Structure 1
Amino acid sequence: MNVTYKVSLAGLSGEKALASVSVRAFLRQKCGFSHGLWRRLKWNGTLLVNGEEVRATTAVVRDGDVVTCRIAESSSLAATPMPLDIRYEDEYMIVLNKPAGMLVHPTGGDYDNTLGNGLLHYYRRTGQEIDFHPVHRLDRDTTGLVLVAKQPQLQNALTQGNGGKFFHRSYVAVIEGEMPLPAGTIDLPIARHPDSIIQRICSPEGQVAVTHYRTLARRGGRSLLWLELETGRTHQIRVHLAAMGHPLLGDDLYGGDTSVMKRQALHAVHLEAENPLTGESISIYSDVPQDMRDLFWGH
């Protein structure tokens, strides 16, 4: 990782203006550096201020200074060649359209054929010495857009604390029947199922989980929903719709009808993200996959 920042101290530590601060405070508070990443820079990286190498533990910066951080990145993932559907890429992030049947990262015995393996091969092929830094996950059989950071500090900024204000996801789904209201909010806490390491349930002892939905169309006794997440709990949409008595079609884990579809009818259709390091925003859409279109509109 080799990144450069132009120092601005406005708003740092809640103050209107500061003459100088430690480089650690600048990187932690304004550049998304986690404690672990700061330690890697301090012990194994190189830090330059205005082109001159400095000690990370004692360096201070002022408005207008240029800070460069160099940290070697390595990965434990295998680089696996595979076709990737890349919908957006810049020097900070990349957005991919994930197919059904693919994990985002290695787990559960699949260590070579995940999105992370394929992206690592793409990085190596294009000369990018980058590790895999996913901002969020999709279930194996959920299709659609996945945001991956190219820098660990950006991943940290997008996933920790108030990172949610920089990142927004929308989904489409197909259910049997109709929701009680054409549009509404499902506000039910989600917890682990006491008898499963995979399954989740709605429980007062769970974490806050909020899903907003809107019915787009109805046909043949089914409904097409647009869903937006206010929180990002594991299986949130699947659990919430099942709790409402309308599990996703094809979702065998939560009681969905599998006679017409063998995976959950869920697609991450829209992704908005603001890069907290630059202030630039992206808005990416993905077409609904054919199997879901066939499910609702027929062949």
Structure 2
Amino acid sequence: MSDTVQLSAIVPADCAGQRLDQVLAQLFPDFSRSRLQAWIKAGEVEVDGRTLRPRDKVYGGETVVVAGELETNDAVKAQPLALDLVYEDEAILVLHKPAGLIVHPGAGNPDGTVQNALLHHAPELAVVPRAGIVHRLDKDTSGLMVVAKTLAAHKSLVEQLSARTVRRDYLALINGTLTAGGRVEGAIGRHPRDRKRMAVLSHGGRPAITHYRLVERFRAHTLVRASLETGRTHQIRVHMAYIGHSLVGDPVYGGRLLLPKGASELLRETLRGFRRQALHATRLGLVHPETGEPMEWEVQPPRDLQDLLAVMRSECPADTVEP
């Protein structure tokens, strides 16, 4: 199914000589340029009764009429699944995703995802791309996600992510001890031999930058706060493994289990039982798409990670670095 959007406007005189797709982006800022270009190519935009190409020039004074089709998310069914909502208004919502919950349906996981739950919670999301999801978290990563509830909010958030102005901070428990924070820069792409993994590549890949600073040091592990300058698949997991400090519990990039010398049986069992990457999206900051107000949220790690840290603190005196 799809919904039809009806729009009309007069091309301003000062737009003379500009491309049609550029002018539409100015006239209808709630819609992305790629969506407007798709409508032009589909013949759903008329300029004085004529269909043009995206690159065709306008002269000013023409009447533009758009009858665009908005694709709905009918392939993804709404399901009454629990969502831990941290914030919600008419334009956006922020949720705390638990570890173990998949964001989008995919092969082998047709339902039971964040997207299914969102479509039940807010049916109007059916006409927003991917039900308003503009960034994702891995299945076994917990933490904050923002969702756009309108097309205008979606466009704004995508632009903020592209401009790297959205703040995304993570807590990560890594193997090994660090003495200082740092920066990892390395292009990330598909592993050349294992297509299910990502890797830092010397040729190809997409630019990726991760910043990290120390929070607590333990006997054989370090808790760091990592922030993303880019948002590549598995970025923090790949970058930390690349510098020799993979995440505790990471089943893909983690390598051999690291046990501190003299660790108690409780700590050994707790580490062995932690079977997901110790990664939590703890802080999210952005500019509200409608009000322009800077907003920020922070949530504490889930119980399993808190319990692991508590055991470490009880027998591996922590060197607290960050206040």
TM-score range, shorter chain: 0.7 to 0.9
Asked whether 1:266 is paired with 2:268, we answer no
CA deviation digits over 1:162-209, x for unaligned, max 9? 733442211001112212x42111112222101222201112113221
1:289 to 302, 306, 315: 302
Query: 1:235 is aligned with what amino acid?
Result: H
Q: Distance in 2 between matches of 1:2 and 1:280?
A: 31
| 2:21–2:33 contact (8 Å) kept in structure 1 | no
Give the equivalent residue in structure 2 for 1:122.
121
Give, in angstroms, the shift of residue 133 of structure 1. 2.0
CA deviation digits over 1:203-253, x for unaligned, max 9? 211322111001101234221110001111111100111111111111010
Change (3 A) 1:184 1:69: farther
Paired residues for 1:183-194 under 5 Å: 183-194=181-192
Change (3 A) 1:161 1:99: closer
Give the equivalent residue in structure 1 for 2:195.
197
RMSD of the TM alignment (CA)? 3.7
Q: Distance in 2 between matches of 1:139 and 1:129?
A: 23
Give the equivalent residue in structure 2 for 1:182.
180
SS in 1 for 2:184: strand
Give the equivalent residue in structure 2 for 1:136.
135
Q: Which protein is bigger by CA-based radius of gyration? A: 2
* Structure 2 residues not aligned, in runs of 5+: 53-57, 258-270, 315-323
Give, in angstroms, the shift of residue 278 of structure 1. 4.2
Q: Distance in 1 between matches of 2:145 and 2:67?
A: 27
Change (3 A) 1:86 1:289: same
| 2:164–2:230 contact (8 Å) kept in structure 1 | no
Give, in angstroms, the shift of residue 60 of structure 1. 7.3
Change (3 A) 1:162 1:128: closer
Change (3 A) 1:77 1:168: same
Give, in angstroms, the shift of residue 38 of structure 1. 5.5
Change (3 A) 1:96 1:161: closer
| Percent identity over paired residues | 36
| 1:173–1:248 contact (8 Å) kept in structure 2 | yes
CA deviation digits over 1:131-159, x for unaligned, max 9? 40211011000000111112335334433
Change (3 A) 1:60 1:224: farther
| 2:39–2:68 contact (8 Å) kept in structure 1 | no
| 1:166–1:276 contact (8 Å) kept in structure 2 | no
Which moves more between the two structures, 21-30 or 150-159? 21-30
Corresponding residue pairs, total: 277
Give, in angstroms, the shift of residue 32 of structure 1. 5.0
Change (3 A) 1:24 1:244: closer
Query: 2:217 is aligned with what amino acid?
Result: R
Query: 2:197 is aligned with what amino acid?
Result: Q
* Structure 1 residues not aligned, in runs of 5+: 8-16, 48-53, 62-67
SS in 2 for 1:169: strand
User: Normalising by the residue count of structure 2, what TM-score does the alignment of the two structures yield?
Assistant: 0.72
Give the equivalent residue in structure 2 for 1:35.
34
Change (3 A) 1:56 1:219: farther
